[in-house]
Amino acid sequence: MGPRYLNPNTLNNEGILLELLANGSEEAYTTVYRHYSWHVYEAAMVYMKEPGLAREIVQEVFLKVWIKRAQFNKVECLKDYLFILSRNCIFDHFRKKAVAIAAQAQLLQRQPLMVNDTDYRVQEQQYSQLLYDAVAAMPPQRRRIYMLAKEEGLSYAQIATRMHISRFTVKNQMAQALQFIRIYIDRHYNLLLPLAAIECFFCR
């Protein structure tokens, strides 16, 4: 049997769509994204309340869909799978937020009651350095895409034209860049807090 291709009725035949996705079809992935991304966004908005955060959940969900695409020939119901994936991403967001809030509260307890502007500027510089380090650690293509989007404000289509790559590649690389930055900062967050606490201690 030859390779299968998408047709207007493919979404009605979920088995074919999932098989194509499992085989790495970008067209199948785009079909899934276009059909379900709004549903994921609406579900995320119920909990996140902010459009920007809801869009991050959508990006994270569909990044995981692409990363785990080889497993989709075992998925029985795509809608249920995306619901579970969305729920897990939302819960993970709140779990990380709770950890961050607890860490910040612990830091504030160790700080002097009166904290001057210099302390805040130092912490802002430290976070800026973390972001800079995260971007510097990216693969060259991903780093350039991120810089063009964030520093020059180019759209995905404009970046694709300038770099002579597909818009899908830009979108995929941008999603991976955002996830990498989030993971990088999460990993180094606990290292940053003790450093800030030590600096505050010696400022007393």
The residue out of 80, 110, 140 marking a domain boundary is 110
Range 174-200 average pLDDT: 62
The pTM for the full model equals 0.49
Q: Are residues 150 and 135 in the same domain?
A: yes
Per this entry, what is the length of the chain?
A: 204
Count the alpha carbons within 13 Å of 94 in the hemisphere toward its beta carbon.
10
Tell me, what CATH number does 105's domain have? Answer: 1.10.1740.10
Q: CB of 171 within 8 A of CB of 156?
A: yes
Confirm if 43 and 22 have CB atoms less than 8 A apart: no
- Residue 62's CB is within 10 A of a number of other CB atoms, namely 22
The number of C-alpha atoms within 13 Å of 2 and in the hemisphere containing its C-beta is 1
Q: Which two tokens stand for residue 91?
A: 């819960």
161 pLDDT tier (thresholds 50, 70, 90)? very high
pLDDT band at 164 (very low <50, low <70, confident <90, very high): very high
Do both 131 and 65 map to the same domain?
A: no
Residue 112 in tokens: 């002097």
**136 and 193 assigned to the same domain:** yes
Boundary residue ending a domain (110, 133, 155): 110
Yes or no: say if 142 and 178 are a contact pair by the CB < 8 Å rule. Answer: no
Task: Answer yes or no: do 103 and 165 share one domain.
Answer: no
CATH number at residue 134: 1.10.10.10
SS3 content of the chain, % helix, strand, coil (to 5): 80, 0, 20
Q: Tell whether 25 and 98 lie within a shared domain.
A: yes
Please report which confidence band the pLDDT of residue 115 belongs to, taking 50, 70 and 90 as the band edges: very low
Q: 94 and 119, same structural domain? A: no
Whether residues 92 and 26 share a domain: the answer is yes
| Count of structural domains, the chain | 2
The pLDDT-based confidence of 2 (bands split at 50, 70, 90) is very low
Residues 15-27: pLDDT tens digits? Answer: 888 888 888 888 8
Fill in the DSSP letter of residue 70. Answer: G
Of the given ranges (10-14, 63-67, 136-140, 187-191), which has the lowest mean pLDDT? Answer: 187-191
Q: Return the structure tokens found at 74.
A: 């075992």
Q: Are residues 91 and 39 in the same domain?
A: yes
Same domain for 88 and 123, yes or no, is no
Domain end marker among 56, 84, 110: 110
| Cβ atoms of 157 and 167 closer than 8 Å | yes
**Structural domain of 21:** 1-110
Domain identity same for 136 and 189: yes
Residues 95 and 119 in one domain: no
145 has pLDDT over 60: yes
Of 51-55, 144-148, 163-167, least confident by mean pLDDT is 51-55
* Residues 123 and 64 placed together within one structural domain of the fold: no
Mean pLDDT of 96-117: 54
Segment 69-105, tens digit of pLDDT: 888 888 888 888 888 888 888 888 777 766 555 555 5
Residues 6+ positions from 33 with CB-CB distance below 8 Å? 62, 65
